[in-house]
Chains A and B, each alone.
Chain A
Amino acid sequence: MTTLAEVESGKEVIIKEILAGQGLRNKLLSMGLREGERVKVLINNRGPIVVLVGSCRLGLGRGMANKILVEELGE
């Protein structure tokens, strides 16, 4: 298990846990970042991270991505 911030561009992951207070958690949930959800990391270089959830792109700061625990999916 790693955090979303450490996943390379192009990899797909499953969200395992969101380590955030109720407020932030609720926001992420309602935006579609939910435990058990499959997301694809589109862009993760040094800057902000772009992930694909369903058909929609979300941009996350690295601080936020550090609070999301994920498991990488094999090819």
Chain B
Amino acid sequence: MYEIALIGNPNVGKSSLFNLLTGENVYIGNWPGVTVEKKEGYFDNNYKIIDLPGVYSLSTGAIDEKVTMEYFLKNKPDLVVNIVDATTLDRNLYLTLQLLEMGNNLLMALNKIDLCKLDYKKIKELENILNIKIVPISVKKKVGIEDLKKMIKELCKNKNYVILKYPKLEKYIEEIIDILKEDQNLKEYNLRLLAIKLLENDDYIINIVKDTDIWNKLEKKLNKINEELKKEYNGKNPFEVERLKLIKKIKEIVYDNNEIYVEKDLTYHIDEVLFNGYYGILVVVPLLWMLFTFTFTASKPFMDIIETLINIFSNFIKEIVTNKFLASLLADGIIGGVGAVLVFIPLLLFLYIGISFYEGTGLLARIPILADMYLRKFGLPGKAIIPLILGFGCNVPAILAARTIENEKDRILTIIINPLCSCSARLPIYVLFASAFFSKNQGLVILSLYTLGISLALILSKIFRIVLFKEEPEELTYELPNYHIPSFREIFVNTWERIKHFLRKAGTIILFGSILVWFLTVFGPSGFLGEDVFKNPELIKMSFSAKIGEFLSVIFSPFGWGWKETTALFYGLMAKELVVSSLGILYGVSGDKLLNILTKYFTPVSAYAYMVFTLIYVPCLATLGVIKQELGLKWTIFVMLYLIVLAYFVSLTIFIIGNLIFC
């Protein structure tokens, strides 16, 4: 088995090539410790291809870059396939040179040759200068792919390690490597790459060697070398200077980019409207609306079907299993829990199709740039726009959509404020209370809750940005691909893999959470209560969940909410829409009767406070599940805690002020 690393700048056609080489043989996971996607695939069984995140250079700023750097620090692939965009060769060469500096068996795949005239003599010259093999291809037109495969196999067998050396810098690299060699702990690392990055003063790399025994010696040496280099290179990064010099030389010999000039094509005209500065953002609003509607409307019938099937199945189980306990465990606990996971599949399916479509058209790179002007004021990156909007439908896909944010801190911030975007599952609660208490101003009351949610989200992100993250959201520079019609095959392969990942990671949490809630409902201190507990207010009173509600209701006594109202909140943890149905069960009524009975237990002010509380307090289990999948346990707990505290204080404030005004 040979290991092949596929690397290149963003937008060079790396994904397209990867899919072409591997076909359906793809596995998507995460890189260890981070949520950057890790794609692996095979071709001809014997060749394993690793798709590294697209990067412009080997550095350690963004998380994608760290992943790529870590890979090269700790792995020695049999072959590195560097995919390069023929239309922007000189830019792409920066990364190529870095790959050669550290020493690699490297093959260059020169892509998009359908877009430019090729001079094969010049390609030969470039091959000679860099001492590597170059295969011109066009992934789009499927040109040269067989040649590429043949060359990959050839180079895996007969390796041609190339080390690019800059005469003026080589002796320093060697001096550093000599010191690094002394430390056994660094054995697994690519020492040459470490040495180069140390000479470039890369903080991330310095941290790797800082704790080793050789650090003292190393630091002295580095300081001395830096002194010398500073004089020689006028304080500039010497590697940067050498790379640019070599690129310039290559450009003179093999490459003239005079003829590539994109003039006023369709992309230009669309961009002119979009980036107008006045009405550009107006174009974005319908685009976001389309994405939102597509995701949630298209998935709705499928979610309904899954729900119905799950109901039929669980009723069927209840009929054939005679043991009451077993029947309830299977039907309400396990099947109900599986159902709670499965209903997300259509949602994620359509979300990913929608997002990939936007990505494919070239819009996904542009929308954030426009949103950035506005969101930056609140400490959020431009790319937070899509999670923020999707959050009004469901926080689960919204949080997953935050994956496109490369900067780790920006991504965390975007995720932790997302639960404040009021998802559609909270609407039934608002509708119920608004129609019971504010029948004249229903619309206004409901709108006020959505506004409150998004305002809190923006205010808190500003606060978290200042208190927790301390630095500004990353400045944006995006490559803007041409607008075009996306390919659907890639969309489907990737979508299915991502859904599998969700089922494995977040799915298990949701399933176990559902079973736990089931257990707390059908069991009480007196033991198994029978499945009628779901219909009988007298029985549910004896369950563990009612006891928990009773216990917690002390906290809510200022609002005048009792154990029933508190227990309903507890069920809201499972899924927010359950607040309504569990209030019905707890009061033992439904429909219009529920509206009437609510007025006995709530005043308009305490009802409004209750709505505000359900808006803010802990997101549902599924949302917590994806937060854990995306950010880990620590942040999940943080989100739960801050939301509970916030919910309590905001609703209490509203309650007090409301009572002062209206009573």
Contact = CB atoms under 8 A, between A and B. Distances in A.
Given A26-B61, A48-B275, A48-B370, A55 B87 contact: yes
Interface of B: 11, 56-57, 59, 61, 85, 87-88, 90-91, 94-95, 115, 201, 237, 240, 244, 257, 260-262, 267-268, 271-272, 275-278, 280, 365-366, 369-370, 372-373, 376, 382, 475-482
A26 B240 contact: yes
Interface in A31-54: 31-34, 42-43, 45-50, 52-54
A32 B257 CA distance: 13
B271 A24 contact: no
B275 A64 contact: no
Given A32-B91, A56-B87, A43 B271 contact: yes
B479 A58 contact: yes
A56 B91 contact: yes
Contact of A47 (B57, B373, B475): B373
B111 to A, nearest CB: 13
Interface in A6-43: 22-24, 26-34, 42-43
Contact of A54 (B11, B91, B481, B482): B91
A59 B480 contact: yes
A57 B477 contact: no
Nearest to A62: B373
A54 B258 CA distance: 9
17 contacts: A24-B475, A26-B57, A27-B56, A29-B57, A30-B59, A31-B91, A31-B477, A47-B280, A50-B275, A54-B257, A55-B88, A56-B91, A58-B480, A59-B275, A59-B365, A63-B475, A64-B477
A24 B65 CA distance: 13
A55 B477 contact: no
A50 B365 CA distance: 12
B641 to A, nearest CB: 33
- Residue of B91, B278, B376, B479 ringed by the most chain A CB atoms within 10 A: B91
B476 A60 contact: yes
A30 B476 contact: no
Contacts of B477: 27-28, 31, 33, 58-61, 64
A59 B369 contact: yes
Contact of A58 (B57, B244, B257, B478): B478
Contact of A45 (B59, B115, B277, B382): B277
Given A23-B61, A27-B61, A27-B477, A42 B372 contact: no
Given A53-B88, A59-B366, 14 more contacts: A22-B237, A26-B61, A27-B56, A30-B57, A30-B91, A31-B91, A43-B271, A48-B370, A48-B476, A50-B275, A54-B91, A54-B257, A54-B260, A59-B477
